[in-house]
Amino acid sequence: MKLAIRSAGQWLNPLLFFVIVVTLFPLGIGPGPNMLATIAPGVLWVSALLAMMLSLDALFANDFRDGTLEQMVLSGHPLTVMVMGKVMAHWVTSGLPLVLLSPLLGLMMQLPEGAYGILIVSLLLGTLSLSFIGAIGAALIVSLNQGGVLLSLLVLPLTVPVLIFGSGAVAGAGMGLETSAHLSLLFAIVFLSVSLAPLAIAGALRVGVAAGR
Amino acid sequence: MAIHMTEQPVLLSATGMSIWRGEHLLVDELDVCVRAGSIVQIQGSNGSGKTTLLRALIGLAEFDEGEIFWRGEPVRRAQDELHASLIYLGHKAGITAGLTPLENLLSLCPELTSGERGESSARLLVQQVLDELGIGERIDLPSAALSAGQQRRVSLARLRLQSATLWVLDEPLTSLDADGYGWVQAEIQRHVGEGGAVMFTTHQSLSFDPLPVQTLQLAGDQ
């Protein structure tokens, strides 16, 4: 199941999106280092968030269409565990590459030197919880044909706290402020979403399978 | 034979099953009883609710009234036991396009690689069954490159690779050729002979001589 990592489009798409969006900002705003440095945390974080959204659509849709999801429900193994595996695989393929690439893009955005460590840590935590929160939305819309817009509508409001604390931490680190408060809150969100989201996802998938045929 | 049949334990049973779809009563107060060693065919015209009934019986779809039992236990409490002894083949083949038939079957039948059996002996087993189904040389090709009938054959291979008491087959003959019909027919006979039970729907005519087939007629629109 986790072997689905194979399809290149799935992990390349969000990464390319992330790179392109972040690259466009210096081009559009001009290369003034002060301006870029101020908006860098926000831009990096918003782009990462949208890139994650991009890959969520397909998370369960293919499995639903070809019937794999039914077989998962019927397999007799706990659905929450399988969902956990699936979402972790999603994070490794679409979240982790963003995190690894972010320092390079930070450089392009004139991110202050002290902020790189925090950028990586906050994105690491942030993308992980985004994967889990987003997967709830992806599971809810699984039996709908055109759920893309609904998905962003459902999920984006839920991701606002992650965005606020994530970019807040990076911005704070850039100004040399203490960021442990932001990071602890991010940790809390990660623990909450990783532990509770699989239950919600499994429930939503059961409903989706019952609605489809 | 007939007398012997009634002594077999009841596997899956349901009483007073009613299923509404919107304003439409699809299944009306139906009783179902599937014993070990029996074949049950659900008949009905298109849209009469065969698929819905099958899915409701195994917990994949909602139903409005009635009670389902697995080996005498209400299915609410015995859902995992039911699912552990069930193979369901639905309209969707359950084959992931990006994976090869081998990978698909290994993930669908985890018992193949569990225990002391290694990956290589599992591969041999899968190869053997796929050979028999005439798609042995496609074992390492992406499933997306297979035709609908070949994908159906991959999912049918589970009937041989997995041990499950109850088979629920929804239109198992879709997109199969005459060879495929024969294979399915023989497999069902073997399975029932070994004490398993089969519930299926089809619009083709299959005979399992000398095994008796119980039929369950769905009224459909009336």
Evaluate whether the domain defined by B9-85+165-222 bears CATH number 3.40.50.1240: no
Cα B120-B124-B129 angle, rounded to 5 deg: 145
Residue of A1, A2, A71 to mutate, interface with B, max B Cβ within 10 Å: A71
Angle between helices A116-140 and A180-211 (to 10 degrees): 20
Give first-to-last CA distance, chain B, whole Å: 36
State yes or no: ipTM above 0.85: no
Question: Token pair for residue A149?
Answer: 């817009």
Residue A129's pLDDT is what? Answer: 94
Q: At a CB cut-off of 8 Å and minimum separation 6, what does A17 contact? A: A47, A50, A51, A54
CB A47 within 8 A of CB A90: no
Handedness of CA A101, A163, A171, A176 (dihedral sign): negative
Q: Quick one: average pLDDT of A24-40?
A: 82
Instruction: Please determine, for residue A160, whether its predicted confidence score (pLDDT) is greater than 90.
Output: yes
What is chain A's alpha carbon radius of gyration, rounded to the nearest angstrom?
A: 18
Q: Whole domain around residue A59: which residue ranges?
A: 2-211
> Is A6's Cβ below 8 Å from some Cβ in B?
yes
Higher pLDDT, A1 or B177: B177
Higher pLDDT, B113 or A185: A185
Structural domains in chain A (count): 1
Strand order in the sheet with B10-21: B24-35, B10-21, B65-70, B73-74
pLDDT band at A121 (very low <50, low <70, confident <90, very high): very high
Return per-residue pLDDT of chain B as tens, 222 residues. Answer: 444 545 688 889 888 888 888 788 888 888 888 988 889 998 888 888 888 888 888 888 888 888 899 888 888 888 888 888 899 998 888 888 888 888 888 888 877 777 666 778 888 888 989 998 888 888 888 888 888 889 999 999 999 888 889 999 998 888 888 888 889 999 999 999 888 999 999 888 777 777 888 888 887 554
CB B109 within 8 A of CB B161: yes
> Is A76's Cβ below 8 Å from some Cβ in B?
yes
Q: Quick one: average pLDDT of A160-189?
A: 89
Three-state DSSP class for residue B139: coil
Strand (E) or helix (H) holding A14: helix A8-29
Contacts B166 to A, Cβ<8 Å: none
Cβ burial of B91 (10 Å; 0-12, 13-18, 19+) is exposed
Question: Token pair for residue A70?
Answer: 């039914």
Give the C-alpha distances (Å, rounded to integers) separating B5 from B37, B53, B185, B188.
7, 24, 20, 16
Interface of A with B in 9-68 (CB under 8 A): 62-63, 65-68
Domain residue extents for chain B: 9-85+165-222, 94-163
